[in-house]
Structure 1
Amino acid sequence: MTPFLRLALRLDAAVSGACGLLMAGLPRPVAALTGLPAPLLLGAGLFLLAYGGLLAWLGARAALPRPMLWLLVAGNLAWAAECAALPLLGWVAPNGLGIAFLAVQAVAVAAFAELYLIALRRAALRSAA
């Protein structure tokens, strides 16, 4: 566990937790603003609260197995793809603010995936040295 990885986990935990609180705590108002379905926001928000808790726990550990880090990369990339796919495939019909809401999430989770990939590359370089 490097300071860089610990920081990435803590930032991801904070962002996921905050977004989860917003979506799970206020699904109807967020739905009214974004045009996204309230049940989708509630379910995603509850998931993000649990995910944020997991990330906080992982960030407090002394070590993190590489397969877990790869799982975080894959999960973040899948979340980013789903944020883009929801309106593109017609599964939801958000308004402009809803599109922006999904786009910001997609970019943020893709950025966290990249941070985890950087941590994996750094760990591989350290173990090769």
Structure 2
Amino acid sequence: MTNTIAPRTATAPTTTGRFWFTADAVISGVNGLAYLVAAGPIADLLGGDATTYRWLGAFLVGYATVVGLYARSALSKRMGWAIVAGNAVWVLASLEVAVTGMFDIDGLGRAWVVAQALVVADLALMQARSLRAR
């Protein structure tokens, strides 16, 4: 009796890939909602203007929605790589904000920006690895 196992197709979603994209959506969504709901206190804590945090929060909620929908889909490689590229741009922009102090953030704000950039960089790396493994 011969047992044959069909090879996984190049576009088959993986549990690991789905996990990293879902994690990205959840983290971005929670962060975005916090910026929307608590923009004033966050601005007081990190420096900058509450309006900037509200805009950032709205962007992150929208981004989280798109990535969350993607994580529940068939996981197109092209869209996955677009999300990874977007995360890479976010990391570079965050580091620029931290270095320049753009948006009038203070020392704690700069540390927060670097910390979240490291989280996004890690997510992008894990997402890229999951896409390459397919």
Contact 1:66 1:120 in 2 (8 A): yes
RMSD of aligned Cα (Å):
1.3
Aligned counterpart, 2:132: 121
Aligned counterpart, 1:9: 21
1:18 partnered with 2:30? yes
Structure 2: gaps spanning 5 or more residues: 1-12
Number of residue-to-residue matches in the alignment: 122
Give me the whole-angstrom Cα distance separating, in 2, the residues matched to 1:59 and 1:91.
Answer: 32
Give me the whole-angstrom Cα distance separating, in 1, the residues matched to 2:104 and 2:55.
Answer: 17
Higher relative contact order (CA 8 A, sep 6+): 2
What is the percent sequence identity of the aligned residues? 31
Give me the whole-angstrom Cα distance separating, in 1, the residues matched to 2:49 and 2:93.
Answer: 15
TM-score (norm 1): 0.88
Give me the whole-angstrom Cα distance separating, in 1, the residues matched to 2:45 and 2:98.
Answer: 16
Give me the whole-angstrom Cα distance separating, in 1, the residues matched to 2:41 and 2:91.
Answer: 23
Give the 4+ runs in structure 1 shifted more than 4 A.
none
